[in-house]
A and B are shown apart, each in its own frame.
Chain A
Amino acid sequence: MKWSIDIKGTLSPVSILGAFFDKPNTIAYPQVKKETAKGYRGFHTNVLSDCIGCSNCQDVCMNDAIDMIKTDMEYNAKNASQCIPRIDYGRCCWCSLCTDVCPPDSLKLDEEYMNVSKYASDFIYIPKNQ
């Protein structure tokens, strides 16, 4: 077998040493938090004074993650069904179709996305009123 040395190919990877003087790509999480982009698809929010309880969101959800429930919160007077959406985050895929089809534009996605809980029942989530 003939041996030959690829001098360029052997020396060129040495340029990797220059990376010692570069700024690191990583951030010191959790001390430094990465800012979420505006319009990120995180948790749902629902403006209860606007929600009309039409259940369009429930209808369009391909994962059957939304059901309409009665709560003791104060609703919009025009909310005919007196129900508001509740999301099962075990099923939700954050496609945002529910917010697209919302006629009064009350259901939205917030930039907040962290949810830590030891109870599976906490995945069933009533969107915050805001």
Chain B
Amino acid sequence: MIKMETPKHITIFHGPQHPGITGNMSVELDLIGETIQKATTHVGYLHRGFEKLIERRTVIQAFTIVCRICVPEPDPNEANFAMAVEELAGIKITERAKYIRVMVLELSRLSAQFLWMAGQSGSIGLYAVGQWAIADRDLILDLFEELTGGRVYHMYVYPGGVRRDLPNGFLDKVTDLLIYLKERMNLYNDIFINNASFKNRAIGVGIIDKEEAVANGYVGQVLRGCGIKADVRKDAPYLIYDELNFEIPTQKAGDVYARALVRRDEILQSINILEQVVSKMPKGDIMIKMPTHRKFKLPKDDTWVKVESARGEFAYYMAGDGTEKIRRMQVKGPSLIHGFTLLEDLLIGAELSDVALIMNSLGICPPEIER
């Protein structure tokens, strides 16, 4: 739309059908030539209202909804929900269940990072990388299919443990996949991360200031790409993360390329974590006996739990009121702050062709905004 009062300006909508957009949202861009003067995020194309839906269901029923809060990475939601219920009810899960949960969370992180790689490379036209990343992600989904019975929505991590035990030979399959993915990472380094066309597009684009990142509460790769070592797995360890050896990768530049390097290193760290989990997997029960399984009542109390998702800190507030239903549950993911405050700021002065590039590097997932 050309504004007649200021004919130099043109306003366009980037999304919600644009392939470079992350999910069902759009950005309204005010341009002069190719340069963005103003960006406004629009959400509301999804509106599923998870928080309200959960208030009307029992604990056991609500558990099947939470995974839908983030499509590319449902497991941090399931883990958060289960951890919140367990903390409110004072339930301790078994050691094996903890290991299986970490395995599921890391596999889920890997699958989300490969999906990011597909989106990030697609945003600058490197489609071969995207197709390969999606194919490799599918191998992880095959493992999920075998373990949980579902490829995308797993509904597997349940308050009190996990729903199914590992199938025969599952750990060997995980080990084989990790060896394969490690080899593939060399290839992705060659064709994507070290690719001159990606470097030229990503270096110096979407730079985030370190102080601003801390002050505004940015999380995940956005924070680590500015050189701040922040990760829930190290800062407030949950499950068995304090028993595992892994590093928190950081970069200093704060641009799109720095965030890509952090993500690449995180894939390698996830593989490292999974190798440790597979080698240490204990025997035992996967689920404790839950009292009044179907009509489980939450005590009158509230809690705040958080996990590290592939895109940053993911936290749940949960309050019970002594009934079978959850009084209130609030979801705090990285997308709200990254999708509004940060994206709108970063796009000012950027080129139109860099919108998808910057957006993909921030890890925005609209269902989480419209929770």
Contact = CB atoms under 8 A, between A and B. Distances in A.
Interface of A: 6, 8-10, 12-13, 15-16, 19, 25-26, 36-41, 56, 59-60, 62, 93-97, 100-101, 109
The 9 closest A-B pairs by CB, nearest first: A9-B196, A62-B61, A95-B64, A25-B135, A41-B149, A37-B146, A12-B190, A6-B196, A37-B145
Given A37-B142, A41-B149, A9 B61 contact: no
A9 B191 CA distance: 9
B65 interface: yes
B10 interface: no
A9 B149 contact: no
B195 interface: yes
B325 to A, nearest CB: 12
A9 B64 contact: no
Contacts of A95: 64, 155
15 contacts: A6-B196, A9-B195, A12-B191, A12-B195, A13-B190, A13-B195, A13-B196, A13-B197, A16-B190, A19-B132, A25-B132, A26-B135, A40-B149, A60-B60, A96-B149
Contacts, number: 72
A26 B196 CA distance: 29
Given A9-B196, A62-B57, A101-B294, A38 B167 contact: yes
B92 to A, nearest CB: 22
Contacts of B293: 101
A59 B57 CA distance: 12
A94 B187 contact: no
B167 A12 contact: no
Contact of A109 (B57, B142, B149): B149
Nearest to A62: B61
Given A62-B64, A96-B149, 11 more contacts: A15-B187, A16-B191, A25-B135, A39-B149, A40-B145, A40-B150, A59-B294, A62-B62, A93-B153, A96-B155, A97-B64
B294 A60 contact: yes
Nearest to A9: B196
A25 B135 CA distance: 7
B216 to A, nearest CB: 33
A16 B128 contact: yes
A9 B167 contact: no
Nearest to A94: B150
B150 A9 contact: no
A56 B155 CA distance: 19
A36 B149 CA distance: 10
B341 interface: no
Contact of B61 (A16, A25, A39, A60): A60
Contacts of B197: 9, 13
Contacts of A13: 190-191, 195-197
B146 A39 contact: yes
A29 to B, nearest CB: 13
A12 B187 CA distance: 9
A12 B199 CA distance: 12
B190 to A, nearest CB: 4
B57 to A, nearest CB: 5
Contacts of B142: 37
Contacts of B64: 62, 93, 95, 97
A79 to B, nearest CB: 20
Contact of B199 (A9, A39, A60, A100): A9
Contacts of A100: 163
Nearest to B126: A13
Interface string B51-70: 00000010011101100000
